[in-house]
A and B are shown apart, each in its own frame.
Chain A
Amino acid sequence: MSKFFNVLILFSVITALMQQKAGAVTDAVLESGQRAIEFTLTMGAAIIIYSGLMNVANRAGLCNLLSKLLRPVLTKLFGPLDSGTMTDITMNIACNFLGLGNAATPYGINAVKSMASGDTATNAMILFVVINTSSIQFLPTTLAAVRRSAGSASPLDILPCIWICSILSLTAAVLSCKICERAEKYFAKLRITGIGSCDHSGRSNKADKRI
């Protein structure tokens, strides 16, 4: 993440200087803080309300019911997890699927928090975040509304395309995650047993430090 950050900033500053847009960049920097605060206020209000509701649902045992249904699939993907985390993951995925993004966020944050150990992301955490970043929405309501207002003949005719696309992207993301896990494990093993040549261990170190 920090490397990504550095590269983007550096690239942007260089292009800004080359195109003499330094003034515009300064304005954008000042504005960005304000926009972040505004965004947090609108989104934060929703998070607080949904967190309240969610706590009621939790106490009533509604979430436990749903997570029991999805447990077999999730255990296969994430490995063994405690039931609280499992419930949060289930509810996050369910809310995302139904298009309740604001309701999904607090569940997701809880799940990631409970999976966290130290400042390094675990495999389960990465998998969970990656699943969240590839949209798994059943009915993209905002998109449909925009298309309708733009005068589309049938705003929902692209739904099958979106579903297939979503499934493909989700599969690609999860697969690449699993491949990365395997690769890392493989290189770690090489390093420990000392079978790997210098070239191998050098490469695995690089892989560890990336992003």
Chain B
Amino acid sequence: MIIAAGAIKRINVFEAFIEGAQQGLGTVVSILPTLCTLFFLIGIFMSSGASDIMSFAAAPFASLIGLPDAVIPLMILRPLSGSGAMAFFKTVVENFGVDSFTGRVAAVMLGSSETTMYTVSVYYGAAGVKKTRHTIPCALIGDITAFIAAGILVRLFFK
């Protein structure tokens, strides 16, 4: 459709495409170091057991707002790794059933949040921003809101 629009407007589609792809390549190269660093961080965090400790510590707070214990690791995984969170969602679904309360809460959490750390790294990495100021606290506030709301809303919608 886009190509057709380009052809109708009589622009040089081939050249424009190559020019854009060239810029895209530059972008990819410029975010590679940031991504490497992020994967390094996530690798250490997951393998050291630090994520397990954090989910253990978060358990009392989660039960206070009515979130099932099984979805807590998802809250910690989600901002860091999209594929990790999806893999964990699959295990939750297998253990509790896809249409169970736990399964639904996990799905809503997954659907209404984003891989925050990855997004921040990619955008700021490309723009060469080092001082991120209040970006991460604000983004995490958004994620936490989504997680809390997920528990409450699923309770309201599916009794």
* Chain A residues close to B by CB (< 8 Å): 1-2, 4-5, 8-9, 11-13, 15-16, 19, 21, 24-25, 27-29, 31-33, 35-37, 39-40, 43-44, 47-62, 105-106, 108-109, 112-113, 115-116, 119-121, 125-126, 128-130, 132-135, 137, 140, 142-143, 146-147, 150-153, 157-158, 160-162, 164-166, 168-173, 176-177, 180, 184, 210-211
Determine chain B's interface SS by DSSP, over half rule.
helix
Q: Given A133-B116, A133-B142, check contact A40 B47 (CB 8 Å).
A: no
Tell whether, in the assembled complex, residue B111 and residue A162 are in contact, meaning their CB atoms are under 8 Å apart.
Answer: yes
Chain A minimum-CB-distance residue to B142: A173
CA distance A41 to B50 in the complex (A): 29
Minimum C-beta distance from B132 to chain A (A): 5
Tell whether, in the assembled complex, residue A109 and residue B48 are in contact, meaning their CB atoms are under 8 Å apart.
Answer: no
CB < 8 Å: which of A52, A120, A129, A166 contacts B21? A52
Which 10 A-B pairs give the minimum distances between C-beta atoms? A55-B20, A51-B24, A173-B142, A32-B43, A16-B48, A165-B112, A169-B146, A28-B47, A44-B28, A28-B43
Residues of B within 8 A of A160 (CB): 157
Q: Given A13-B48, A169-B113, check contact A5 B41 (CB 8 Å).
A: yes
The A-contacting residues of B in range 40-88, CB under 8 angstroms, are 40-50, 53, 86
Chain B minimum-CB-distance residue to A209: B131
12 A-B residue pairs with Cβ-Cβ distance under 8 Å, sorted by A, are A4-B136, A12-B45, A33-B40, A39-B39, A47-B28, A129-B124, A133-B116, A151-B98, A162-B108, A166-B146, A176-B142, A211-B134
Tell whether, in the assembled complex, residue A177 and residue B47 are in contact, meaning their CB atoms are under 8 Å apart.
Answer: no
* Chain B residues close to A by CB (< 8 Å): 2-3, 5-6, 8-9, 11, 13, 16-21, 23-25, 27-28, 31-32, 35-50, 53, 86, 89-90, 93-94, 98-99, 103-104, 107-114, 116, 119-120, 122-124, 126-139, 141-143, 145-146, 149-150, 153-154, 157-158
Tell whether, in the assembled complex, residue B24 and residue A49 are in contact, meaning their CB atoms are under 8 Å apart.
Answer: yes
Residues of A within 8 A of B129 (CB): 112, 116, 119-121, 125
Residues of A within 8 A of B120 (CB): 1, 129, 133
Residues of B within 8 A of A35 (CB): 39, 43
Tell whether, in the assembled complex, residue A47 and residue B35 are in contact, meaning their CB atoms are under 8 Å apart.
Answer: no
Having A15-B48, A15-B53, A32-B40, one finds 18 other A-B pairs with CB under 8 Å, namely A19-B48, A28-B46, A44-B28, A48-B25, A51-B27, A55-B16, A55-B21, A106-B24, A112-B123, A129-B120, A129-B124, A134-B114, A134-B142, A150-B94, A166-B112, A169-B112, A169-B145, A169-B149
